[in-house]
Amino acid sequence: MLGAQIAALGPHSTGQHTVTSLAVANPGSLIQSVDWVAIAPPLIAAVAALAVLVTDLFLAERHRKWLGRLTAAGLALALIALLPLTGGSPRATFCVQNVAGATDNAGCSYVADHFALVFQLLVLGGALIAALLSAHTVEDEKLPGGEYWFLLLSSATGAALLPASRDLATMVIALEVASLPAFALVALRRDGRGAEAALKFFVSSVTATAVMLLGIGFVYAASGSLHLGAVAQGLEHAPGQLKPLAEAGAVLTLVGFAFKVAAVPFHFWVPDTYTGAPLPVAGYLSVVGKAAGLSGLALATTIAFRPYAHTWGLALAVLAAVTMTVGNVGALRQRFDTRYSAVRLLAWSSVGQAGYLLVPLAAAGYAPTGVDPLGATAAYALIYGVVNLGAFGVVAAVGRRAGTSVDDFRGLFARRRWTALALAFFLLCLAGLPPGVIGLFGKVVVFRAAVDAGLGWLAVVMAVNVVVALYYYLLWTARLFAPAPDTEPVGEAEAERRLPAGLTATLGLTASVAVVLSFAPQLVLQVAGGSLF
């Protein structure tokens, strides 16, 4: 919250528009009334993070599993805190009244509108599922409990703050709060791979952040504001000689977010990081990390850089096309018999899915005013989040030790009926083919956004990609039902053991949500119906 406070006060102290001396006429105006209900979701997550860290100090070793339960409870509470915000008009807080062009909430640093709520639902829900998934990983791999849960909650806090933040400084801070703990989470696995993966992730991510900060500096210089709405106004009225600076700034800012989304060419860290990280963390990054980047990208483009809509619209369209193609081709080239191939395949597929997620964003650059394709991204991201975490859950259940290859799934149906059926359902949802009806309609919404915006070529590229992706999802699905190999896989005796409660809960939750949504797609697609802001 500190970041938001500073950012909210920013224009005052720099004296860009009104010089605020210490001796103001009405000192009360400097004291903000904070809408605690509006900021409750990220706040609860942050408080839970601190609580876990402190509790860890006083907890005996044998009670450590309570930390996981505390984490899950905190995230569930944060999710419940979203409920009071759903009705009525958007609530805003940390507002500055005298920002240039301040209309409605343009001067506010934190706005809990529908966009924010949908992405907070995705982020907190994704983190909750990842927490359920983590319970046995922390035990099995002897990860330091207190640190693990604290880092997970901190990262979730940042990711939940990002979609609600409405000025560039808060966004950067939120993005860093989401990312920095993630590096440590990746590195928690105590083998060479974890450290290498974390370093790769860290170095490339920090570079992206640096580039983004430079970009934000340029934008601030050109527009004179950090608030997104005001930036848009500032860019429109920027003096001619500042135009190149503003444009360069916009490009550099977007680069940072594109990295978090793992869009090409910033995707190369994904497969190595996912294989090196503990499995739940990989799942977390693929959903929550991506959602954070995506929400930031959406906010920056559709609000702040609105004046450049056609430029970034085209750029994002190209980016989407290249990302989905590279991701799917990468997945297609993935061999099925090597170690870690299951996670690597999911990693490449998540790059491809990021491409689909970018399509409505690109369409937003072309859409006439009054049409808001962003809902398609939000709806698709929610669907993708559920089924992708479900798929990670099954991989965790099958390969209790890391290093599962896709071939290890051969004959899973004969060994574990329901696990195999769940994975088949998740994979078909990802592919977008019935019986994964919700995956199909998710794709339909994205296609519709592209067609409505007149991006026919992008829709065709995506159609080809959907077919390419189906091939590897289907090969994996077919493996599940293939005859079991004659040689029992190593560790089968262990696998026969009952699934831990956390994994059962994860699979049950994600599978039942996906099935319910398949019968009632309106529950999630209503997000795509109207405008989110």
Instruction: Kindly give, in sequence order, each residue whose CB lies less than 8 Å from that of residue 440, ignoring residues fewer than 6 positions away.
Output: 432, 433, 434
Q: Is 483 in the site for another protein (CB under 8 A)?
A: yes
Among 30, 191, 471, 490, binds another protein (CB under 8 A): 471
The alpha carbon dihedral of 18, 21, 25, 26 has a sign of positive
Based on the shown chain and the rule CB under 8 A, indicate whether residue 441 belongs to the binding site for another protein.
yes
Note if the bond before 144 is cis, omega within 30 degrees.
Answer: no
Select 98 or 522, whichever has its Cβ closest to another protein.
Answer: 522
Q: What is the largest CA-CA distance in the chain?
A: 84
447: contact with another protein by CB under 8 A: yes
- CB 456 → another protein: shortest distance, Å? 7
Q: Which of 1, 440, 499, 509 binds another protein (CB under 8 A)?
A: 440
Q: Which of 460, 490, 501, 516 binds another protein (CB under 8 A)?
A: 460
Give min distance, CB of 122 to another protein, in A.
Answer: 17
d(CA 166, CA 227): 6
Say whether residue 445 binds another protein (CB under 8 A). Answer: yes
Number of residues that this document lists for the chain: 533
DSSP letter, residue 371: -
Which residue, 4 or 378, is less far from another protein as judged by CB? 378
Using the Cα atoms of residue 203, residue 158, residue 51 and residue 386 in order, give the sign of their dihedral. negative
Angle between helices 501-519 and 522-529 (to 10 degrees): 60
456 forms part of the interface with another protein (CB under 8 A): yes
Does residue 383 belong to the site contacting another protein (CB under 8 A)?
A: no
Tell me the C-alpha to C-alpha distance, in Å, between residue 433 and each of 304, 339, 469: 37, 28, 11
Count of residues interacting with another protein (CB under 8 A): 35
Residue among 32 and 526 whose Cβ is closer to another protein: 526
Amino acid letter for position 492: E
Contact 262, 290 (CB under 8 A): yes
Name which position in 64, 200, 339, 448 contacts another protein (CB under 8 A): 448
Considering only 31-39, 75-83, 265-273, 442-450, which stretch makes contact with another protein by CB under 8 A?
442-450
- Tokens for 13, please give them: 């102290």
Amino acid present at 383: I
Residue 169 Cβ vs another protein, minimum distance, rounded to whole Å: 35
Candidates 39, 294, 358, 437; binder of another protein (CB under 8 A) is: 437
Binding region for another protein (CB under 8 A) out of 30-38, 50-58, 263-271, 458-466:
458-466
User: What does the buried/exposed string (b/e) look like for 303-326 if buried means 16 or more CB atoms within 10 Å of the residue's CB?
Assistant: bbbbbbbeebbebbbebbbbbbbb
Residue closest to 322 by CA, chosen among 232, 271, 262 = 262
Single-letter amino acid code for the residue at 152: L
Q: Is 485 in the site for another protein (CB under 8 A)?
A: no
Which residues make Cβ contacts (< 8 Å) with residue 211, sequence separation at least 6? Answer: 252, 255, 256
Q: What is the nearest approach in angstroms of another protein to the Cβ of residue 437? A: 7
How near is the Cβ of 52 to another protein at its closest, in Å? 38
> CA quadruple 20, 25, 30, 32: dihedral positive or negative?
negative
- Measured from the CB of residue 469, what is the shortest distance to another protein in angstroms? 10
Is 470 among the residues that bind another protein (CB under 8 A)?
yes
CB of 529 to another protein, least distance (A): 4
Span interacting with another protein, options 131-139, 362-370, 395-403, 444-452, rule CB under 8 A:
444-452
According to the binding rule CB under 8 A, does residue 50 interact with another protein? no
Rounded to a whole number of angstroms, the minimum distance from the CB of residue 444 to another protein is 7
Residue 435 interacting with another protein (CB under 8 A): yes
Q: Does 474 bind another protein (CB under 8 A)?
A: yes
With contacts defined by CB under 8 A, name the span among 133-141, 214-222, 234-242, 443-451 that binds another protein.
443-451
259 binds another protein (CB under 8 A): no
522 binds another protein (CB under 8 A): yes
Residue 374 found at the interface with another protein (CB under 8 A): no
| 112 burial type by CB count under 10 A (0-12 exposed, 13-18 middle, 19+ buried) | buried
Q: CB of 218 within 8 A of CB of 246?
A: yes
Give the nearest distance from C-beta 528 to another protein in angstroms: 5
516 binds another protein (CB under 8 A): no
The torsion of the CA quartet 88, 90, 95, 97, rounded to 10 degrees, works out to -80
Q: Report the 3 state secondary structure along 236-295.
A: HCCCHHHHHHHHHHHHHHHHHHHHHHCCCCCCCHHHHHHHHCCHHHHHHHHHHHHHHHHH
Name the segment binding another protein (CB under 8 A); options: 262-270, 302-310, 352-360, 440-448: 440-448
Identify the residue among 316, 423, 527, 532 touching another protein (CB under 8 A).
Answer: 527
Annotate 440-500 with three-state secondary structure.
HHHHHHHHHHHHHCCCHHHHHHHHHHHHHHHHHHHHHHHHHHCCCCCCCCCCHHHHHCCCC
Q: Does 338 bind another protein (CB under 8 A)?
A: no
**In terms of CB distance, is 198 or 462 closer to another protein?**
462
- Does 451 contact another protein by CB under 8 A? yes
Rounded (10°) angle between helices 341-364 and 290-299: 10
According to the binding rule CB under 8 A, does residue 332 interact with another protein? no
The yes or no reply on residue 364 touching another protein (CB under 8 A) is no
What's 111's DSSP letter? E
Q: Find the shortest distance in angstroms from Cβ 416 to another protein.
A: 14
Q: List contacts with another protein (CB under 8 A).
A: 421, 428, 433-435, 437, 440-441, 444-445, 447-448, 451-452, 456, 459-460, 463-464, 466-467, 470-471, 474, 478, 481, 483-484, 521-522, 525-529
